[in-house]
Amino acid sequence: MQQPVRQYRYFEFVMVAFVVVLVCSNLIGPAKAAQVDLPLLGAVTFGAGVLFFPISYVFGAILTEVYGYSRARRVIWSGFAALAFAAIMAAVIVALPPAPNWPNQQVYEIAFGNTWRIALASMIAYFCGEFVNSFVLAKMKVATEGKYMGARFVGSTVAGEAVDSALFYPLAFYNSGIMPNELVVTLVFSQFITKTLVEIAFLPVTYRVVAFLKRAENEDHFDRKTDFNPFKLKV
């Protein structure tokens, strides 16, 4: 007899938060290049999306740590579907003929008119990076018997962010004519380092959220018999 699927109090809230942050990182962040002056480093220029995207990895780590890989897998697919829908609808809205007296078409195109190459690169990089992050964390948790949570979070983040950055920038911009190939390589490393540091900075918050959810849900899942096929949705 098949066991009923367990229901959780906060799982849906974490899933929604993950998807909202992910969509924001792809629709709001990329439209702006920001610059801040940092001690010792001077002026540092970065895509504003770097403030959003690492937070999605925080939620991905929380989901895997508390609820397990199979539930995190379903959330990753939900995020992928949301990204695809947002990209399609953004393209449709941008392509609609503007009213003759509406002066903001060019501004709208700059903000939401990502090329299909960039949109596809973003979705491919997200899909691969998030699954690597979840897989590495799940395997490390079993290997360490649930110990060294900080090291597990950092290790899975480094793996996931490395895959994401290594895929996104070459797929989106290499030989594109938008920027020199040398700059593409530079961005791969700079964005990887920046995203990883941002997520490490969130570790104290991540610890507290994980501890709260484990107590509230009475759950601390170990993926000892999990099928890690990313294309299956069964829990």
Give pLDDT tens digits for 60-89.
889 999 999 999 999 999 999 998 998 888
The pLDDT value recorded for residue 44 is: 67
Which pLDDT band, with edges at 50, 70 and 90, does 24 fall under? confident
How distant, in Å, are the alpha carbons of 58, 68, 91, 195 from that of 165? 16, 25, 24, 9
% of the chain surpassing 70 pLDDT: 91
Question: Span 188-202, mean pLDDT?
Answer: 82
The pLDDT value recorded for residue 179 is: 74
The pLDDT value recorded for residue 46 is: 64
Residue 41 has pLDDT above 80, yes or no: no
% of the chain surpassing 90 pLDDT: 42
Higher pLDDT, 109 or 41: 109
Residue 53 has pLDDT above 80, yes or no: no
CA distance 182 to 178: 12
HEC assignment per residue over the chain: CCCCCCCCCCHHHHHHHHHHHHHHHHHCHHHCEEEEEECCCEEEEEEHHHHCHHHHHHHHHHHHHHHCHHHHHHHHHHHHHHHHHHHHHHHHHHHCCCCCCCCCHHHHHHHHCCCHHHHHHHHHHHHHHHHHHHHHHHHHHHHCCCCCHHHHHHHHHHHHHHHHHHHHHHHHHCCCCCCCHHHHHHHHHHHHHHHHHHHHHCHHHHHHHHHHHHHHHCCCCCCCCCCCCCCCCCC
The pLDDT value recorded for residue 45 is: 64
Residue 11 has pLDDT above 80, yes or no: yes
Scanning the structure block, which residue is given the tokens 């992050």? 133
CA distance 115 to 87: 10
Question: Span 131-158, mean pLDDT?
Answer: 94
Question: Span 35-39, mean pLDDT?
Answer: 77
Which pLDDT band, with edges at 50, 70 and 90, does 43 fall under? confident
181-201 vs 53-67: helix crossing angle, rounded to 10: 50
Average pLDDT of the residues of the chain: 86
CA distance 154 to 57: 11
The pLDDT value recorded for residue 234 is: 84
Question: Span 149-159, mean pLDDT?
Answer: 91
Residue 178 has pLDDT above 80, yes or no: no
Residue type, 19: V
Instruction: Say what the alpha-carbon torsion angle 135, 140, 142, 144 is, to the nearest 10 degrees.
Output: -170
The pLDDT value recorded for residue 231 is: 92
Residue type, 208: R
In order of their start, the domains of the chain are 11-217 (1.10.1760)
CA distance 95 to 191: 31
Residue 12 has pLDDT above 60, yes or no: yes
pTM of this prediction? 0.87
The pLDDT value recorded for residue 75 is: 95
Residue 2 has pLDDT above 60, yes or no: no
The pLDDT value recorded for residue 16 is: 94
CA distance 114 to 89: 12
Which pLDDT band, with edges at 50, 70 and 90, does 233 fall under? confident
